[in-house]
């Protein structure tokens, strides 16, 4: 069976590695992949949002399943493209169609969905350029801090949390009238601030039944102690110690079930992952956001904890038989530490030679921004590699990740030394 994975990050490397361990021994293709995936798959140098190029490769390589890693191809309608094409429509795509992808593609859509289906979330209102004055008046009714969110996809940068009312008003104006985040901020959601501890829960669904995957916590800031600029994620831990059984039962009852039921009621045939960003407030879950894909680096700790065959689970999603599939998890803790390029998340250089990878033992290195250049593996992005380890305790897993990470180097390599600091 030939499988194509769209994407190039650590998330996609983690999918590929897990699929390569399937009893069905699939042949894997990546678009575009990285130096890590090149070892277990054929990398195809195409852009996953170039659907015609995807189609050509799918037909040429006899692909019989497509797994979509990032949100961009989903929001752009890759799944719909397959269904509307005579040559492609029989090939299952793991990832929602455009209607389901709106849960991530539009903050207002996702807030309306949550409100309609009784999923706990922060109170909100949405505003456009035309209703700017009403937006400012709405801000006056809220207590600080003020949360402003660009409605559309803004590469993880579209959320502002502001202490002063004046600043909130002027940022709102900047977003709406000056398109601070481009087209994405032509509509802005203003919402109540939720004060709690953040974590994520992941769900795989065939549109009827679902499996709740392990919870995870990621570390988004570049600096130690969660300081400094936001990044795509500098590390992750799974499971999340404060997400105990009682809390996770509430997540399933109050969030997962109404979400899956709501999709069905709204006629959205959703086949893929749902990433639920949550705030735990005094033991009660509130949804901050939905993403229509797995997280990165969360995937690098969630997937290694799944003991069942991931390909079987994907086949269950494709044929709506997910409820029949076995789903086992390890109790061990998984940790990942992301190694990034100097300067990231601001300007950074690429092409630095990575040395020492052959000495890594007992830790899996998931590649992200890497590529092959002649004899060498070189850096090719801001987030370069994720060092994932399993252990009986979080401390043991982190120790392994950090020990192995010291064996690897490239010029101006950077990482956080305190992943998990708040959970110890």
Cis peptide before 239 (omega within 30 of 0): yes
Nearer of residues 178 and 230 to ligand GLY, judged by Cβ:
230
Nearer of residues 168 and 222 to ligand GLY, judged by Cβ:
222
Q: Which of 80, 173, 198, 269 binds ligand AMP (CB under 6 A)?
A: 198
Whole-number Å distance between alpha carbons of 56 and 44: 11
The alpha carbons of the chain give a radius of gyration, in whole angstroms, of: 21
Residue 218: which residues within 8 A CB-CB, separation 6 or more? 200, 233, 234, 235, 236, 295, 297, 298
- Assess 277 for contact with ligand AMP (CB under 6 A): yes
Report the nearest approach of ligand AMP to the CB of residue 335 (Å). 20
Place of tokens 């392990």: 214
Report the nearest approach of ligand GLY to the CB of residue 288 (Å). 11
* Contact string (CB under 6 A) for ligand AMP, positions 136-165, x = contact: -----------x-x---------x-x----
Whole-number Å distance between alpha carbons of 208 and 261: 8
Residues 11-70 that bind ligand AMP (CB under 6 A): none
- Assess 104 for contact with ligand GLY (CB under 6 A): no
Report the nearest approach of ligand GLY to the CB of residue 298 (Å). 6
Q: Could you give the angle at the alpha carbon of 157 between the alpha carbons of 130 and 237, nearest 5°? A: 140
Q: Which helix (H) or strand (E) holds 413?
A: strand 413-414
Q: Are 91 and 58 in contact (CB under 8 A)?
A: yes
Report the nearest approach of ligand GLY to the CB of residue 153 (Å). 11
- Assess 206 for contact with ligand GLY (CB under 6 A): no
DSSP 286-301: EEEEEESS--TTTHHH
298 binds, among ligand GLY, ligand AMP, none (CB under 5 to 8 A by kind): ligand GLY
Residues 265-324 that bind ligand GLY (CB under 6 A): 291, 295-296, 298
Residues 118-137 that bind ligand AMP (CB under 6 A): 122
Residue 356: which residues within 8 A CB-CB, separation 6 or more? 407, 408, 409
Cis peptide before 145 (omega within 30 of 0): yes
DSSP designation for 209: -
Burial of 50 (0-12, 13-18, 19+ CB in 10 A): middle
Report the nearest approach of ligand GLY to the CB of residue 276 (Å). 12
- Assess 189 for contact with ligand AMP (CB under 6 A): no
Nearer of residues 132 and 159 to ligand AMP, judged by Cβ:
159
Whole-number Å distance between alpha carbons of 303 and 308: 10
Token pair belonging to 68 = 């979509």
104 binds, among ligand AMP, ligand GLY, none (CB under 5 to 8 A by kind): none
Q: Are 275 and 295 in contact (CB under 8 A)?
A: yes
Report the nearest approach of ligand GLY to the CB of residue 171 (Å). 22
- Assess 218 for contact with ligand GLY (CB under 6 A): yes
291 binds, among ligand GLY, ligand AMP, none (CB under 5 to 8 A by kind): ligand GLY
Question: What's the first-to-final CA gap in the chain, in angstroms?
Answer: 44
- Residue 365 pairs in a beta bridge with 387
- Assess 226 for contact with ligand AMP (CB under 6 A): no
295 binds, among ligand AMP, ligand GLY, none (CB under 5 to 8 A by kind): ligand GLY
Q: Which of 288, 310, 313, 405 binds ligand AMP (CB under 6 A)?
A: 288
Nearer of residues 218 and 300 to ligand AMP, judged by Cβ:
218
CB atoms within 10 A of CB 223: 12
- Assess 191 for contact with ligand AMP (CB under 6 A): yes
Q: Which of 9, 48, 233, 382 binds ligand GLY (CB under 6 A)?
A: 233
Q: Are 169 and 136 in contact (CB under 8 A)?
A: yes
What residues line the site for ligand GLY (CB under 6 A)?
218, 232-233, 291, 295-296, 298
What residues line the site for ligand AMP (CB under 6 A)?
122, 147, 149, 159, 161, 191, 193-194, 198, 277, 288-289
């Amino acid at each position: 069976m030939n499988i194509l994975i769209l994407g190039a990050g650590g998330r996609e490397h983690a999918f590929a590695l897990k699929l390569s361990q399937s009893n069905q021994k699939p042949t894997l293709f990546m678009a575009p992949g990285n130096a890590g995936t090149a070892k277990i798959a054929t990398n195809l140098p195409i852009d996953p949002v170039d659907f015609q190029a995807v189609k050509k490769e799918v037909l040429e390589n006899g692909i019989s399943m497509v797994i979509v890693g990032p949100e961009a191809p989903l929001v752009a309608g890759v799944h719909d493209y397959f269904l509307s094409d005579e040559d492609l429509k029989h090939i299952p795509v793991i990832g929602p169609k455009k209607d389901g992808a709106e849960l991530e593609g539009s903050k207002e859509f996702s807030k309306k969905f949550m409100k309609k289906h009784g999923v706990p979330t922060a109170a909100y209102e949405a505003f456009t350029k035309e209703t700017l004055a009403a937006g400012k008046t709405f801000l006056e009714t809220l207590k600080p801090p003020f949360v402003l969110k660009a409605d559309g996809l803004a590469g993880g940068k579209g959320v502002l949390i502001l202490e002063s009312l004046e600043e909130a008003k002027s940022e709102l104006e900047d977003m709406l009238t000056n398109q601070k985040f481009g087209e994405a901020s032509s509509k802005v959601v203003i919402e109540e601030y939720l004060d709690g501890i953040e974590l994520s829960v992941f769900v795989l669904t065939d549109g009827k039944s679902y499996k709740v995957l392990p919870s995870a916590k990621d570390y988004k800031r570049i600096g130690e102690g969660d300081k400094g600029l936001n990044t795509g994620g500098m590390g992750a831990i799974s499971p999340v110690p404060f997400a105990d059984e009682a809390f996770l039962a509430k997540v399933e009852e109050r969030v997962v079930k109404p979400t899956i039921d709501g999709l069905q009621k709204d006629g959205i045939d959703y086949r893929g992952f749902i990433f639920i960003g949550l705030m735990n407030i005094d033991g009660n879950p509130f949804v901050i956001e939905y993403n229509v894909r797995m997280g990165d680096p969360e995937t690098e700790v969630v997937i290694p904890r799944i003991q069942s065959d991931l390909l079987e689970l994907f086949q269950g999603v494709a044929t709506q038989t997910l409820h029949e599939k076995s789903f086992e998890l390890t109790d061990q803790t998984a940790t990942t530490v992301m190694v990034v390029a100097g300067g990231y998340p601001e300007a950074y250089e690429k092409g630095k030679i990575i040395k020492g990878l052959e000495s890594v033992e007992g830790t899996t290195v998931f590649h992200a921004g890497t590529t092959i250049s002649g004899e060498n593996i070189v850096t090719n992005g801001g987030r370069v590699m994720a060092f994932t380890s399993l252990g009986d305790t979080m401390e043991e897993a982190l120790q392994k990740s950090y020990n192995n990470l010291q064996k690897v180097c490239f010029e101006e390599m950077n990482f956080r030394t305190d992943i998990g600091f708040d959970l110890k």
